[in-house]
């Protein structure tokens, strides 16, 4: 199983949703790197389950314990290992349906890949629970980026069929707006639209169903020149890590698929010299990336999250042990919409990717 990622720093995640704990080992942090534990806790709390009527009732504090690689507020230079305990598991919820393949989950593919030895409780190692260690590592890198003046923020662009009419201004995003979004439990640009989204989630939850959505992310103050073609481009690095997040089904940069509808004269981002003598572009249709390398404009990308596959409605499936058709009614605790809790995970992936691509 591939649980490792990275070049400049290397990450290795471990654990299962209903195991004793989950965690991460980070190798490659320079000795003396400052580690802000309160900042990391703040980011972890944004992802933690059980603190909103829009999320699963499974309540986990996501408190972490650093076992190695940390001393007196700084990295020691040796591998840093952090563990997060699983304290609120209801494993019995999965015993009665252990042989029933849950539609939309990795039950079938996991059983085939690991010959039936995988931990099926709560999705095991396939669970979104494993994004907590990613947020831990991402928060660590994000703080380092912020000290360089680089800031990351996101807003929920859509939930189901409801779409926020507002988007980031591609050519200029204020630091304050990104910070405000990061403080919000349901980050949107249009508050009225955000209320409609939340009511829609609660309505669908009562129906025993779920919703997906799109998150738009912006990164500002990136210097030009980050990224390497072809295989370490900014797009491929960020996308690769984003697609490692459970439920992510699509990623687009700048105008994304809509750029295909433009003419070259419309799609090209034409240049000018700014007041501070920097080279800028009038538009930012390419999302701040050309040739896989940052061009100094805001980095813009959107991430598509599918509806939570665990729903209360009866679904057709098969009993893999009896090799016969069956009907599944899922019991247990699940998010009616994973999008709000996915926001800090997406931002963590962006921070990790950019940190891994940047020069010292």
Would you say 333 is a known binding-site residue? yes
Give yes or no for a contact between 30 and 135, defined as CB atoms under 8 angstroms apart.
Answer: no
Q: What are phi and psi of 169, to 5 degrees?
A: -75, 110
**How large is the average pLDDT for residues 312-323?**
95
Residue in this structure with the two tokens 């439990």, named with its chain if needed:
185
Tell whether residue 109 is among the known ligand binding residues.
Answer: no
Give residue-wise pLDDT tens across range 128-164. Answer: 899 999 999 999 999 999 999 999 999 999 999 999 9
- Distance in angstroms (rounded) separating the CA atoms of residues 73 and 129: 27
pLDDT, tens digit, 9 for 90 and up, residues 177-192 = 999 999 999 999 999 9
166 is in an annotated binding site: no
Tell me whether strands 248-253 and 271-273 are parallel, antiparallel or unpaired.
unpaired
126 is in an annotated binding site: yes
Helical H runs in the chain? 37-47, 107-113, 131-147, 175-183, 191-206, 234-242, 264-267, 339-357
pLDDT at 3: 79
- Between helix 131-147 and helix 37-47 the angle, nearest 10°, is 130
Give the chain's mean pLDDT. 94
pLDDT confidence of residue 92? 64
Nearest to 205 by CA among 59, 340, 17: 340
Residues 220 and 172: their CA atoms lie apart, in Å, by 8
> Any binding-site annotation on 127?
yes
Q: Selecting from 3.60.150.10, 2.50.20.10, 3.30.1490.20, 3.30.870.10, what CATH number does the domain 4-357 have? A: 3.60.150.10
β-strand pairing of 279-281 with 21-27: unpaired
DSSP one-letter code for 78 = S
State the pTM of this model. 0.95
47 marked ligand binding residue: yes
Residue 64, Cβ neighbours under 10 Å: how many?
22
**Angle at 267 (CA atoms; ends 264, 273), nearest 5 degrees:** 110
Contact (Cβ atoms closer than 8 angstroms) between residue 298 and residue 219: yes
Which region among 221-235, 239-253, 326-340 has the lowest average model confidence (pLDDT)?
A: 326-340
Instruction: Determine the average pLDDT of the residues in 11-35.
Output: 95
The answer to whether 154 is a known ligand-binding residue is: no
Helices (H) and strands (E) in the chain, counts: 8, 18
Q: Which of 58 and 196 is assigned the larger pLDDT?
A: 196
- Residue 53 annotated in ligand binding: yes
Q: pLDDT tens-digit profile of 67-116?
A: 999 999 999 999 999 999 998 666 566 677 789 999 999 999 999 999 98
Which pLDDT does position 119 carry in this prediction?
A: 83
8 Å CB contact between 154 and 350? no
The reply to whether 306 sits in an annotated binding site is yes
Residue 1 pLDDT greater than 70, yes or no: no
pLDDT of residue 91: 59
Query: Could you state, in order of their start, the residue ranges of all structural domains in the chain?
Result: 4-357
């Amino acid at each position: 199983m591939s649980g490792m990622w990275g070049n400049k720093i290397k990450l290795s995640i471990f654990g299962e949703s209903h195991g004793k704990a989950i965690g991460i080992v980070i190798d490659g942090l320079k000795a003396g790197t400052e580690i802000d534990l309160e900042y990391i806790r703040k980011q972890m709390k944004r992802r933690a389950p059980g603190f909103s009527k829009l999320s699963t009732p499974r309540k986990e504090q996501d408190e972490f314990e650093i076992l190695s690689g940390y001393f007196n507020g700084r990295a020691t230079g040796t591998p840093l290992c952090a563990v997060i305990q699983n304290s609120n598991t209801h494993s019995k919820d999965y015993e009665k349906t252990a042989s029933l393949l849950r539609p939309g989950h990795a039950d079938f593919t996991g059983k085939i890949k690991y010959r039936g030895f995988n931990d099926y409780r709560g999705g095991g190692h396939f669970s979104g629970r494993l994004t907590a260690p990613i947020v831990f590592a991402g928060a660590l890198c994000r703080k380092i980026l912020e000290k360089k003046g680089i800031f990351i923020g996101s807003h929920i662009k859509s939930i189901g069929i409801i779409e926020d009419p507002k988007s980031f201004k591609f050519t200029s995003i204020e630091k304050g707006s990104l910070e405000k979004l990061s403080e919000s439990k349901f980050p949107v640009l249009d508050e009225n639209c955000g209320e409609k989204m939340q009511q829609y989630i609660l309505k669908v939850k009562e129906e025993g169903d779920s919703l997906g959505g799109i998150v738009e992310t912006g990164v500002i103050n990136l210097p030009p020149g980050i990224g390497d073609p072809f295989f370490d481009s900014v797009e491929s690095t960020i996308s690769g890590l984003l697609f490692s997040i459970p439920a992510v089904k699509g990623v687009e940069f700048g105008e994304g698929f809509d750029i295909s509808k433009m003419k070259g004269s419309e799609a090209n981002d034409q240049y000018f010299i700014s007041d501070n003598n920097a080279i800028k572009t009038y538009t930012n249709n390419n999302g701040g990336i050309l040739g896989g390398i940052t061009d100094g404009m805001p980095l813009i990308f959107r991430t598509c999250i599918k509806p939570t596959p665990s729903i209360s409605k009866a679904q057709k499936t098969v009993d893999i042990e009896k090799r016969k058709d069956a009907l599944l009614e899922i019991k247990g605790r699940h998010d009616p919409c994973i999008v709000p809790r996915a926001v800090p995970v997406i931002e963590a992936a962006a921070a990790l990717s950019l940190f891994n691509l940047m020069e010292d």
